[in-house]
Amino acid sequence: MSERDDSIHQTRRRRSHSLGAALLCALATAACTPDSIGTGVSADREVVGSPANIASLSEVIKASPNDPEPYNMRGTALGEAGRLSRAVEDFTKAIALDPRFYQAYGNRALALRRLGRVEEARRDYDTALQLQPTYDIAYIGRGDLYREAGQVTLALNDYNRAIQLNSSSPRAYHNRGLIFQRQGQHRFAIEDFSTAISYNNSAPEPYNARGISYLALNDLTNALDDFKISVARNEGFAEGWANQGVVYERRGDLNKARSSYNRAISRESGNETAREGLRRINSGRTVQSGSISQ
Protein backbone atom coordinates (compact mmCIF):
# COMPACT_ATOMS: atom_id res chain seq x y z
CA MET A 1 0.00 0.00 0.00
CA SER A 2 1.79 3.12 -1.16
CA GLU A 3 0.68 6.44 0.25
CA ARG A 4 2.32 9.81 0.69
CA ASP A 5 2.29 9.87 4.45
CA ASP A 6 1.50 6.36 5.80
CA SER A 7 1.55 2.64 5.24
CA ILE A 8 -0.34 -0.25 6.75
CA HIS A 9 1.39 -1.28 9.92
CA GLN A 10 1.48 -4.86 11.04
CA THR A 11 3.06 -5.84 14.32
CA ARG A 12 3.85 -9.45 15.01
CA ARG A 13 2.62 -10.25 18.49
CA ARG A 14 3.68 -13.89 18.38
CA ARG A 15 5.92 -16.03 16.20
CA SER A 16 4.05 -18.14 13.67
CA HIS A 17 6.20 -21.23 13.14
CA SER A 18 4.72 -21.81 9.68
CA LEU A 19 6.15 -18.58 8.25
CA GLY A 20 9.45 -18.92 6.48
CA ALA A 21 12.41 -16.79 7.54
CA ALA A 22 12.53 -14.90 4.26
CA LEU A 23 8.85 -14.05 4.43
CA LEU A 24 9.18 -12.78 7.98
CA CYS A 25 12.13 -10.63 6.98
CA ALA A 26 10.23 -9.02 4.12
CA LEU A 27 7.20 -8.33 6.29
CA ALA A 28 9.23 -6.93 9.14
CA THR A 29 11.21 -4.65 6.84
CA ALA A 30 8.42 -3.34 4.67
CA ALA A 31 5.19 -3.44 6.60
CA CYS A 32 6.45 -2.08 9.89
CA THR A 33 7.04 1.39 8.47
CA PRO A 34 4.16 3.47 9.85
CA ASP A 35 6.06 6.73 9.50
CA SER A 36 6.75 6.40 5.80
CA ILE A 37 6.17 9.77 3.99
CA GLY A 38 7.58 8.98 0.58
CA THR A 39 5.46 8.51 -2.50
CA GLY A 40 7.55 5.77 -4.04
CA VAL A 41 7.16 2.07 -3.31
CA SER A 42 10.36 0.54 -2.02
CA ALA A 43 11.54 -2.82 -3.30
CA ASP A 44 10.72 -4.36 0.08
CA ARG A 45 7.16 -3.03 0.02
CA GLU A 46 6.74 -4.39 -3.48
CA VAL A 47 7.81 -7.79 -2.12
CA VAL A 48 5.21 -7.56 0.63
CA GLY A 49 2.42 -6.91 -1.87
CA SER A 50 3.63 -9.44 -4.42
CA PRO A 51 1.37 -12.29 -5.56
CA ALA A 52 3.96 -14.78 -4.32
CA ASN A 53 3.94 -13.33 -0.81
CA ILE A 54 0.14 -13.20 -0.69
CA ALA A 55 -0.01 -16.82 -1.86
CA SER A 56 2.48 -17.86 0.82
CA LEU A 57 0.41 -16.17 3.51
CA SER A 58 -2.71 -17.90 2.19
CA GLU A 59 -0.97 -21.22 2.73
CA VAL A 60 -0.17 -20.19 6.30
CA ILE A 61 -3.85 -19.35 6.87
CA LYS A 62 -4.88 -22.76 5.55
CA ALA A 63 -2.53 -24.38 8.04
CA SER A 64 -3.61 -22.15 10.96
CA PRO A 65 -7.14 -20.92 10.22
CA ASN A 66 -7.79 -19.84 13.80
CA ASP A 67 -4.63 -17.75 14.20
CA PRO A 68 -5.41 -14.02 13.74
CA GLU A 69 -1.81 -13.02 12.97
CA PRO A 70 -1.58 -14.47 9.43
CA TYR A 71 -4.83 -12.70 8.50
CA ASN A 72 -3.36 -9.43 9.72
CA MET A 73 -0.17 -10.11 7.74
CA ARG A 74 -2.06 -11.02 4.57
CA GLY A 75 -4.24 -7.94 5.00
CA THR A 76 -1.05 -5.89 5.12
CA ALA A 77 0.18 -7.54 1.93
CA LEU A 78 -3.15 -7.00 0.18
CA GLY A 79 -3.10 -3.36 1.25
CA GLU A 80 0.38 -2.92 -0.21
CA ALA A 81 -0.94 -4.45 -3.43
CA GLY A 82 -3.82 -1.93 -3.53
CA ARG A 83 -6.47 -4.58 -2.89
CA LEU A 84 -8.08 -2.58 -0.12
CA SER A 85 -11.47 -4.29 0.11
CA ARG A 86 -9.80 -7.67 0.46
CA ALA A 87 -7.43 -6.20 3.04
CA VAL A 88 -10.41 -5.00 5.09
CA GLU A 89 -11.86 -8.52 4.99
CA ASP A 90 -8.65 -10.01 6.37
CA PHE A 91 -8.31 -7.43 9.12
CA THR A 92 -11.95 -8.02 10.04
CA LYS A 93 -11.29 -11.76 10.28
CA ALA A 94 -8.24 -11.13 12.48
CA ILE A 95 -10.38 -8.97 14.78
CA ALA A 96 -13.12 -11.63 14.91
CA LEU A 97 -10.53 -14.16 16.05
CA ASP A 98 -8.99 -11.74 18.57
CA PRO A 99 -11.20 -8.77 19.48
CA ARG A 100 -8.30 -7.15 21.37
CA PHE A 101 -5.96 -7.17 18.36
CA TYR A 102 -5.45 -3.40 18.35
CA GLN A 103 -2.94 -3.44 15.46
CA ALA A 104 -5.56 -5.02 13.21
CA TYR A 105 -7.98 -2.22 14.11
CA GLY A 106 -5.32 0.32 13.17
CA ASN A 107 -4.59 -1.44 9.90
CA ARG A 108 -8.26 -1.71 9.01
CA ALA A 109 -8.71 1.97 9.80
CA LEU A 110 -6.05 2.92 7.27
CA ALA A 111 -7.53 0.69 4.58
CA LEU A 112 -11.00 2.11 5.26
CA ARG A 113 -9.62 5.64 5.08
CA ARG A 114 -8.14 4.90 1.66
CA LEU A 115 -11.52 3.56 0.57
CA GLY A 116 -13.14 6.84 1.62
CA ARG A 117 -14.98 5.25 4.55
CA VAL A 118 -13.79 7.93 6.93
CA GLU A 119 -16.23 7.55 9.81
CA GLU A 120 -15.62 3.80 9.99
CA ALA A 121 -11.89 4.48 9.96
CA ARG A 122 -12.20 6.93 12.85
CA ARG A 123 -14.16 4.40 14.89
CA ASP A 124 -11.45 1.81 14.32
CA TYR A 125 -8.74 4.24 15.43
CA ASP A 126 -10.83 5.01 18.53
CA THR A 127 -11.12 1.30 19.31
CA ALA A 128 -7.41 0.71 18.77
CA LEU A 129 -6.63 3.49 21.24
CA GLN A 130 -9.12 2.20 23.77
CA LEU A 131 -7.38 -1.16 23.63
CA GLN A 132 -3.88 0.31 23.65
CA PRO A 133 -3.70 3.96 24.76
CA THR A 134 0.00 4.21 23.89
CA TYR A 135 -0.44 3.16 20.25
CA ASP A 136 1.20 6.19 18.61
CA ILE A 137 0.44 5.04 15.06
CA ALA A 138 -3.28 5.25 15.73
CA TYR A 139 -2.93 8.80 17.08
CA ILE A 140 -1.15 9.80 13.87
CA GLY A 141 -3.74 8.09 11.67
CA ARG A 142 -6.66 9.64 13.52
CA GLY A 143 -4.86 12.99 13.47
CA ASP A 144 -4.68 12.72 9.70
CA LEU A 145 -8.44 12.18 9.55
CA TYR A 146 -9.06 15.22 11.72
CA ARG A 147 -6.61 17.34 9.71
CA GLU A 148 -8.24 16.40 6.42
CA ALA A 149 -11.64 17.27 7.92
CA GLY A 150 -10.39 20.68 9.04
CA GLN A 151 -10.63 19.77 12.74
CA VAL A 152 -7.30 21.37 13.50
CA THR A 153 -7.42 21.34 17.30
CA LEU A 154 -8.25 17.64 17.45
CA ALA A 155 -5.54 16.88 14.88
CA LEU A 156 -2.94 18.83 16.84
CA ASN A 157 -3.90 17.03 20.03
CA ASP A 158 -3.37 13.65 18.36
CA TYR A 159 -0.06 14.60 16.74
CA ASN A 160 1.19 16.04 20.02
CA ARG A 161 0.26 12.83 21.82
CA ALA A 162 1.97 10.71 19.17
CA ILE A 163 5.12 12.80 19.49
CA GLN A 164 5.05 12.37 23.27
CA LEU A 165 4.81 8.61 22.81
CA ASN A 166 7.32 8.25 19.99
CA SER A 167 9.49 11.31 19.57
CA SER A 168 11.24 9.84 16.52
CA SER A 169 8.13 9.68 14.32
CA PRO A 170 8.80 11.82 11.21
CA ARG A 171 5.21 11.54 10.05
CA ALA A 172 3.84 13.12 13.21
CA TYR A 173 6.24 16.06 12.97
CA HIS A 174 5.64 16.50 9.24
CA ASN A 175 1.88 16.50 9.54
CA ARG A 176 1.89 18.80 12.56
CA GLY A 177 4.14 21.11 10.56
CA LEU A 178 1.50 21.20 7.80
CA ILE A 179 -1.01 22.52 10.32
CA PHE A 180 1.38 25.19 11.58
CA GLN A 181 2.06 26.14 7.97
CA ARG A 182 -1.62 26.58 7.17
CA GLN A 183 -1.96 28.73 10.28
CA GLY A 184 0.84 30.98 9.06
CA GLN A 185 3.15 29.85 11.88
CA HIS A 186 6.00 29.22 9.49
CA ARG A 187 8.86 29.19 11.96
CA PHE A 188 7.15 26.48 13.99
CA ALA A 189 6.41 24.66 10.74
CA ILE A 190 10.05 24.85 9.66
CA GLU A 191 11.14 23.44 13.01
CA ASP A 192 8.78 20.47 12.65
CA PHE A 193 9.74 19.80 9.04
CA SER A 194 13.41 19.94 10.02
CA THR A 195 12.80 17.41 12.79
CA ALA A 196 10.94 15.13 10.38
CA ILE A 197 13.89 15.34 7.98
CA SER A 198 16.34 14.52 10.76
CA TYR A 199 14.49 11.23 11.31
CA ASN A 200 13.89 10.44 7.62
CA ASN A 201 15.88 12.39 5.05
CA SER A 202 14.96 10.23 2.06
CA ALA A 203 11.45 11.56 1.36
CA PRO A 204 10.82 14.65 -0.80
CA GLU A 205 7.69 15.95 0.93
CA PRO A 206 9.22 17.43 4.10
CA TYR A 207 11.83 19.30 2.05
CA ASN A 208 9.11 20.67 -0.23
CA ALA A 209 6.96 21.65 2.74
CA ARG A 210 9.86 23.37 4.49
CA GLY A 211 10.72 25.17 1.25
CA ILE A 212 7.16 26.50 1.09
CA SER A 213 7.48 27.98 4.58
CA TYR A 214 10.86 29.50 3.71
CA LEU A 215 9.24 30.98 0.62
CA ALA A 216 6.45 32.44 2.75
CA LEU A 217 9.15 34.12 4.85
CA ASN A 218 10.77 35.42 1.64
CA ASP A 219 13.88 33.32 2.28
CA LEU A 220 14.39 32.42 -1.36
CA THR A 221 17.83 30.88 -0.91
CA ASN A 222 16.77 28.27 1.62
CA ALA A 223 13.50 27.70 -0.23
CA LEU A 224 15.33 26.94 -3.48
CA ASP A 225 17.78 24.65 -1.69
CA ASP A 226 14.91 22.62 -0.24
CA PHE A 227 13.05 22.38 -3.53
CA LYS A 228 16.24 21.18 -5.22
CA ILE A 229 16.71 18.52 -2.56
CA SER A 230 13.09 17.40 -2.93
CA VAL A 231 13.58 16.57 -6.61
CA ALA A 232 16.97 15.03 -5.90
CA ARG A 233 15.18 12.67 -3.53
CA ASN A 234 12.54 11.92 -6.17
CA GLU A 235 13.23 13.16 -9.69
CA GLY A 236 9.57 12.68 -10.56
CA PHE A 237 8.30 14.91 -7.75
CA ALA A 238 6.33 17.49 -9.72
CA GLU A 239 5.61 19.79 -6.78
CA GLY A 240 9.32 20.32 -6.17
CA TRP A 241 9.95 21.29 -9.79
CA ALA A 242 6.95 23.64 -9.83
CA ASN A 243 8.05 25.38 -6.65
CA GLN A 244 11.57 25.75 -7.99
CA GLY A 245 9.95 27.58 -10.87
CA VAL A 246 8.21 29.95 -8.46
CA VAL A 247 11.52 30.85 -6.81
CA TYR A 248 13.28 31.41 -10.13
CA GLU A 249 10.36 33.52 -11.33
CA ARG A 250 10.53 35.68 -8.22
CA ARG A 251 14.25 36.13 -8.82
CA GLY A 252 13.58 37.17 -12.40
CA ASP A 253 15.41 34.16 -13.89
CA LEU A 254 12.67 33.35 -16.37
CA ASN A 255 14.63 30.79 -18.40
CA LYS A 256 15.21 28.63 -15.33
CA ALA A 257 11.64 29.24 -14.20
CA ARG A 258 10.29 28.08 -17.56
CA SER A 259 12.52 25.00 -17.48
CA SER A 260 11.37 24.07 -13.97
CA TYR A 261 7.71 24.57 -14.82
CA ASN A 262 8.07 22.41 -17.92
CA ARG A 263 9.72 19.68 -15.89
CA ALA A 264 6.83 19.77 -13.43
CA ILE A 265 4.26 19.47 -16.22
CA SER A 266 6.17 16.61 -17.84
CA ARG A 267 5.77 14.72 -14.58
CA GLU A 268 2.25 15.87 -13.71
CA SER A 269 0.40 17.34 -16.63
CA GLY A 270 -2.27 18.93 -14.45
CA ASN A 271 0.07 20.73 -12.07
CA GLU A 272 -1.65 24.10 -11.80
CA THR A 273 1.28 25.91 -10.18
CA ALA A 274 3.46 25.12 -13.18
CA ARG A 275 0.74 25.83 -15.74
CA GLU A 276 -0.09 29.20 -14.20
CA GLY A 277 3.60 30.06 -14.02
CA LEU A 278 4.07 29.34 -17.71
CA ARG A 279 0.99 31.41 -18.54
CA ARG A 280 2.48 34.35 -16.65
CA ILE A 281 5.85 34.01 -18.36
CA ASN A 282 4.34 33.60 -21.83
CA SER A 283 2.10 36.62 -21.34
CA GLY A 284 4.88 38.77 -19.92
CA ARG A 285 3.09 39.37 -16.64
CA THR A 286 5.45 37.67 -14.22
CA VAL A 287 4.90 38.48 -10.57
CA GLN A 288 6.98 38.52 -7.43
CA SER A 289 4.65 36.21 -5.51
CA GLY A 290 3.54 33.20 -7.51
CA SER A 291 1.41 30.47 -6.00
CA ILE A 292 3.07 27.37 -4.64
CA SER A 293 2.42 23.66 -5.00
CA GLN A 294 1.91 21.28 -2.07
pLDDT in the model for residue 77: 96
Residues 116-139 have a mean pLDDT of 97
* Whether the predicted pLDDT of 37 surpasses 80: no
User: Per the confidence metrics, is the pTM higher than 0.75?
Assistant: yes
More confident residue, 83 or 287: 83
3-state secondary structure of 13: coil
Instruction: Report the 10 Å Cβ neighbour count for 236.
Output: 14
Residue-wise pLDDT tens digits, 219-233: 999 999 999 999 999
Please report which confidence band the pLDDT of residue 88 belongs to, taking 50, 70 and 90 as the band edges. Answer: very high
pLDDT in the model for residue 248: 97
For the chain, what percentages of helix, strand and coil (3-state, to nearest 5) are there? 70, 0, 30
pLDDT in the model for residue 73: 95
DSSP character at residue 100: T
pLDDT in the model for residue 15: 39
pLDDT in the model for residue 46: 77
pLDDT in the model for residue 47: 82
Please report which confidence band the pLDDT of residue 9 belongs to, taking 50, 70 and 90 as the band edges. Answer: low
3-state secondary structure of 218: coil
Calculate the average pLDDT of the chain: 87
Distance CA 294, CA 208 (A): 7
pLDDT in the model for residue 288: 59
Q: What is the secondary structure of 43-60 as a DSSP string?
A: HHHHHHTSHHHHHHHHHH
pLDDT in the model for residue 42: 43
Q: What is the CA radius of gyration of the chain?
A: 21
Domains annotated on the chain, with CATH: 1-130 (1.25.40.10), 133-202 (1.25.40.10), 203-294 (1.25.40.10)
Residues 172-185 have a mean pLDDT of 97
Cα→Cα distances 130→88, 99, 125, Å: 20, 12, 9
Residues 110-114 have a mean pLDDT of 97
